[in-house]
A and B are shown apart, each in its own frame.
Chain A
């Protein structure tokens, strides 16, 4: 197990290194220098800016400096907010994003698991139809449409929640719901399929033959067996939340890294784009690693054999 984790961490670092390299050279492909008011600047001003950002050095030196800096947590200096290090920018903005992401993940997965389980247990009843419908809506309606809808109805018309504000918990409710929709739908669908599969399995039949009631079967056998594979959803859901946060933070004016990222894209703030990309990739890689390890801990089939799942 320890050897396995070590191997995974090594792969993770290699992946991050590759991503950093690709991002760096992709950014270098961009024509011209990315200063917003370049036309108004004199040649000497541009030269001074280039020196400040280290853009006068050969590309390979810039690359080495970038990679070396990154290892030490230095992601360069933002073009947009002059003299502000990207790492500082990210550090001040990651709080709200993490809070929203975690809240949405918890709400979405718990409700999704419940919904999926109920749909599977009450298969082909109105409860199942309702859950399936909700899941399809959650998957289909883009989260920004849903966010605007919430903002308009609950915030603007009914005035139940602040429209665009970030101070206390109540201001995080609407964005959390908007973000949680997609994870909820995905989890519910996945859970339903898994649970139906498990409920049709021989060992569930045999558990009934042992005299377990429906509730006992679900609680002692079906739930755990269908929950294990649901853990693998965490990776895709994390990506989902990152995507969602970019629009949802924008719509609700939340000072998070998603909002920052969109701002950097529209203002060609390359160091910030690269920095946020690295942070997103890091988060995703870590989530995938945690899922892998967690899976090994929870599923006895992997825990004991140490590697592959026995089919």
Chain B
């Protein structure tokens, strides 16, 4: 499987009054052609900053301390603002969280959706209008020709998100970055938008980076999942591996706190404590203070990635040969059991040798 985007050792700091906030601390991942990669993590885990770095849209107080982002033979981190402008909206496009604020209130949506066409493709006005209409119909805006003359406030939240998606897709980008595209929407609309995205992905053959804090959304959307915590990716694997055979205690916590049809307990599980202060990240494993399974070494040294399968790796000392065997929470044990059964029944385990895992700590 071909990599369309390769992020290596990305480190981003934010200069604040109190000091440098280390928002992203050595993140590496690949995006395969045509796949949907979900990046999951809580607020402040650095997932949005990572995508902002890809698009060169970091705030002015952000500093990229190290790393490379390779796209079509070019390191996007070294690209000038002008070069980025030719990539953005053309081969990489973005959808952001809040459809209520992501459209210019004083410009007709026809003009806004056709803007990427006018910027990147020297297209005649008639052609651009025709194309805009086509894309708006594609995302399900009824009566598109007439509605192109309307302003954003004349559309509902769900419709606006469809328009934002149309705006992102109008140039058939190779990569679509969706930063919590459904968080601000009603649950019923959420499902519609997710279906639309899956549908469109097949139609125009694009790769998607899907940022979310909602594991429930991930299950139906993603091919692979990367879990982020405190500025680092701590576990990566196929959707099944992450959902049925997670290795990192943080992933356990995430899955444990997700309600299922079988949830019998009175209250949902919540991971105790709060994420660490990234102004001064703790030595060792950042999750250790909240981790009931923490080992002494977690407070001294950050764990490297330990490969589980060719597609699955996790950064936790529990996978070290010398580590004691621990029993995960019951929900995880239950899921692992199901997973074992599935494998035993000849379930097609994704085991593609072409997929190389990024394990930066052990590479060097």
Contacts and interface: CB of A to CB of B under 8 A. Distances in A.
Please determine if A and B sit in direct contact within the complex, based on CB atoms under 8 angstroms apart: yes
Interface of A: 123-124, 201-203, 205-214, 216, 220-221, 224-225, 228, 299-301, 304-305, 310
Most buried by B among A123, A210, A216, A300: A210
**A-B interface, 6 closest residue pairs, ranked by CB to CB distance from nearest:** A211-B89, A210-B89, A209-B94, A202-B101, A211-B88, A300-B151
Contacts of A310: 153
A213 B80 CA distance: 11
Contact of B104 (A209, A214, A221): A221
B106 A206 contact: no
A172 to B, nearest CB: 36
9 contacts: A202-B96, A203-B102, A209-B88, A209-B89, A209-B94, A209-B168, A210-B119, A210-B167, A305-B153
A51 to B, nearest CB: 62
A310 B154 CA distance: 11
B8 interface: no
B151 A211 contact: no
Nearest to B51: A209
A211 B120 CA distance: 8
The main secondary structure of chain B at its interface with chain A is: mixed
Interface string B186-213: 0000000000000000000000000000
Interface string B96-133: 11100111111100000001100110000000000000
B92 to A, nearest CB: 8
A305 to B, nearest CB: 8
Contacts, number: 83
Given A124-B60, A211-B119, 13 more contacts: A201-B101, A203-B104, A205-B102, A207-B115, A209-B168, A210-B119, A213-B81, A216-B119, A220-B107, A225-B104, A228-B106, A299-B106, A301-B153
A124 B59 CA distance: 13
A254 B36 CA distance: 73
B150 to A, nearest CB: 9
Nearest to B177: A209
A203 B105 CA distance: 9
A208 B90 CA distance: 12
Contact of B105 (A124, A211, A214, A225): A225
A202 to B, nearest CB: 4
Contacts of A220: 107, 115
B258 interface: no
Contacts of A123: 60
A299 B107 CA distance: 10
Given A213-B85, A225-B104, A206 B153 contact: no
A213 B102 CA distance: 17
A214 B60 CA distance: 13
A297 to B, nearest CB: 12
B82 interface: yes
A221 B107 contact: yes
A210 B82 CA distance: 13
A299 B106 CA distance: 7
Interface of B: 55, 57, 60, 81-82, 85-90, 93-94, 96-98, 101-107, 115-116, 119-120, 151, 153-154, 164, 167-168
Most buried by B among A123, A207, A216: A207
Nearest to B90: A211
B88 A208 contact: yes
A287 B60 CA distance: 40
A171 to B, nearest CB: 41
Contacts of B153: 300-301, 304-305, 310
A205 B57 contact: yes
Most buried by B among A201, A207, A209, A221: A209
A206 B167 contact: yes
Nearest to B92: A209
Contacts of A213: 81-82, 85
B115 A301 contact: no
Contacts of B154: 304
A202 B101 CA distance: 6
Contacts of B168: 209
A210 B164 CA distance: 11
B81 A214 contact: yes
Contacts of B86: 211
B106 A211 contact: no
A202 B106 contact: no
A225 B106 contact: yes
Contacts of B101: 201-203
Contact of A202 (B90, B102, B167): B102
Nearest to A214: B81
B105 A300 contact: yes
Contact of B88 (A210, A224, A305): A210
Contact of B164 (A206, A212, A224, A301): A206
A211 B57 CA distance: 10
